[in-house]
Amino acid sequence: MVSIAVNKGRDNVAMLGIGAYRPQRVVTNAEVCETLDSTPDWIFERTGIHNRRWISGDETIRSIAAAAGERALNNTPIDRSKIGAVILCTSSWLKLTPHGAPSVAFDLGLNGVAAFDLTSGCGGFCYGLGVAADLIRAGSFDYVLVIGAETMTVGLDPTDRGTAMIFGDGAGAVVVGPAEDNGISPTVWGSDGENAEAIAQDVDFLEYMNKAQALQGTDPAVEAVGRMSLHMEGPKVFRWAAVTLPRALSAALESSGVAKEDIEVFVPHQANARINELMKKNLGLAEGVPIANDIENTGNTSAASVPLAIEEMLVTGKAKGGQLALLLGFGAGLSYAGQVVTLPPAPKEPSF
């Protein structure tokens, strides 16, 4: 019987470098309130957000993803020719076909490598990090570039109080590769499809196209198409998070073999500052453990929020390379993914 070759993987993997891109336009709560029926103080009290970044000018999801990837590659001490795959974690790439990762890989001078998109809402980056680590451990690749990039504002209804004040745009990326000591624990992940519609587009693509086609025929019975927008049932998502995420965090610690007393940094998805502080308290992390708060000036950037938050903490000195951090991404799906990691070195080329 002929035997099939088995890839020889690496047991120890880590994030070797990080890069990020923050759009140039800063949007204050006051500017949001010019359209939204709210006040700047109310928005901050409920979300922890003062400002967010929105794309403008010639910025696109493709350009910001490539910019974050370029910085991650420049901040990593390996030649980019060693990158075997690019994973683009996003829910806001504007086309189903072609998917985004091959185009971004081309922009980075990596044309020809394996490249695919991963869509898992706000948990996307942590999903991508888990996939990258497992691909390297399986021997499929030596190095993988993971990019979380979103232009959430492209699909927002500016009058929707459930989303318009929360979301922003941005991109973050890491290079994952072999390391002397393991720096990425097994990923703990899951989903709740029963309640998935709590975060959803208001119409699907087929319905949207059918309405547009009917309007071209000026059918008076068809409503105006309008924008395809993201909507969220905040209370339902909050209840899901309150029940599910504490269990996910505990499972991530147990899977890593690391005690909560050993965690030095907490980097949850930047969905809501109040939720994040509550998670830290319920988990019983030490009072002095810093928690990411990039949401204050970046907003909720979905799949980009975790790498952006890591980069902000490293650049400002709130965290240091080599420290043990607990990550958790969660949101649309409803899905989540988390792991314990060793933080990469502070970037030589920061985003701000």
Which pLDDT score is estimated for 196?
Answer: 81
**Catalytic entry in 122, 126, 182, 272:** 122
**Matching residue, tokens 């990158």:** 83
Residue 210 appears among annotated catalytic residues: no
Q: By the 8 A CB rule, do 123 and 330 touch? A: yes
Domain ranges of the chain: 13-178, 188-195+230-343
Overall fold of domain 13-178: Peroxisomal Thiolase; Chain A, domain 1 (3.40.47)
Instruction: Give the whole-angstrom CA distance, residue 345 versus residue 130.
Output: 19
Return the DSSP state at 198.
G
Same fold, 13-178 and 188-195+230-343: yes
Distance CA 348, CA 144 (A): 20
Q: If you classify domain 188-195+230-343 with CATH, what class do you get?
A: alpha beta
* Whether 231 is catalytic: no
Instruction: Determine which helix (DSSP H) or strand (DSSP E) holds 328, and give its type and residue range.
Output: strand 324-331
Q: What is the pLDDT of residues 53-70, one digit of tens each?
A: 999 999 999 999 999 999
Predicted pLDDT of residue 332: 85
Half-sphere exposure of 340 (CA within 13 A, CB side): 20
181-194 tens-digit pLDDT = 999 999 999 988 88
Residue 150 has which token pair? 């979103």
Does residue 111 have an active-site annotation? no
**pTM, 2 dp:** 0.93
Please name the residues in contact with 184: beta carbons below 8 A apart, sequence gap of 6 or more: 13, 14, 15, 129, 130, 133, 176, 339, 341, 342
Residues of the chain with pLDDT under 50: none
Q: Which residue out of 29, 182, 269, 272 is catalytically annotated?
A: 269
- Beta carbons of 308 and 65 less than 8 angstroms apart: no
